[in-house]
Amino acid sequence: MATVTRRAFLATAALGAAKIRAAVGKPMPMGINTYCVRALRWNDAQLLDYAAGLKMDAVFLQDSLDPGAMNPAHWPKVKARAAELGLHLETGGGGVFPKTPEAFSASVENIRKQIVRAKALGSPIVRCVIASDRAALPPGPVEQHIETMVRLLKTVRPQVVDAGLKIAIEVHKDLQAWEFRQLIEEAGKDYVGTYMDTGNPVFVLEHPLTTLETLAPYIVTLHLRDSVVWEHPRGVAVQWVPLGEGTVDFHEIMSRAHELCPDVYVYIKPITGRPPQVIPYLERDYWKLYPKARAADLARFLALARKGLPYDKPMVVEDLAGRPTPEHFLSAIQFQQREHMERSVQYAKKALDLGVRWRA
């Protein structure tokens, strides 16, 4: 039975890859997002070597654990090593939203530091995150928060433009696609774009395809993460899984990406080992966070959820927010993060026809 299943998978993957190749003609370059193997505690050089060992075209250096990560003397070494390995490199920082008016200046300085770092590393973009999720935003309407972000981005515009970079706002668990688009267009699409992450839209009740299609003109980097989504008595439940093992149709995602944003690097980003999260959209209070949610977008997402089932493959669940992985689980999480990354990369190569370098 295992042999038949494996053969069936390979046949299906090859068919999907062939359809994408026939439609677009050339593969999009592929890289890995280093955050997904953070439990290995590798420094930047080790991460670059790992990406090169997988025959990647690129690496996204995210939330680096290297002791020299914010040391200017370290950045030229990383840039040189990436060039030596033939890797395109992208990077940036984390959360930037000022939770109080007094924190605005600190947020500006944070972004400015990341601009300098990204430029020195050779990245064409600077990743920024607004908030961890919608509930983490300060009290007040979302329109107010968008205004604050617009003001913040316009403050750093001179530095971004002078550096020849673009701010890449990550699609996270905070705004819906139409809100991100409003933010980018109000701030200025000449220097602000989208870091498209396919794993986060489901947390704001949005089909990743809706997000991709809405933000396509502004996507400057594309990160693939898969989710299982299924109906739950309180609404829906969501869990991240290795690429190709969830509810999302990535052949459809990548076919649209080839049409709408063909010139970006595509990064494999399986963040796994986390428990399912319930999104209680059937409860009245939940909608206080989304007073202007769009019915058509919700309907498309719910159609996706109705097709989904809980994940039924083995997974160690010990990557919990707010605490380090216990030492007695660490080796299991390290093994799992690497195995899930390599499984996802293999799927991206064979089923999605991604990547250039590995074909040589």
The pTM of the whole model exceeds 0.95: no
pLDDT computed for residue 244 by the predictor: 98
pLDDT computed for residue 3 by the predictor: 41
- If DSSP states are collapsed to H, E and C, what string results for 59-107? EEECCCCCCCCCCCCCHHHHHHHHHHHCCEEEEEEEECCCCCHHHHHHH
Measured in residues, the chain has a length of: 360
Q: Note whether residue 359 is domain-resident.
A: no
pLDDT computed for residue 17 by the predictor: 60
Total count of domains within the chain: 1
Q: Note whether residue 2 is domain-resident.
A: no
CB 304 within 8 A of CB 247: yes
Q: Note whether residue 79 is domain-resident.
A: yes
Q: Note whether residue 5 is domain-resident.
A: no
Domain span at residue 166? 11-353
List phi, psi (to 5°) of 41. Answer: 60, 40
Q: Note whether residue 1 is domain-resident.
A: no
CATH of the domain at 248: 3.20.20.150
Give which of 344, 360, 351 is closest to 31, Cα–Cα: 344
Ranges of the chain whose pLDDT falls below 70: 1-24
- How remote is the C-alpha of 263 from its chain's centroid? 17
DSSP character for 25? S
pLDDT computed for residue 323 by the predictor: 83
Q: Note whether residue 6 is domain-resident.
A: no
Q: Note whether residue 170 is domain-resident.
A: yes
Extract the tokens encoding 144.
Answer: 């107010």
Q: Note whether residue 37 is domain-resident.
A: yes
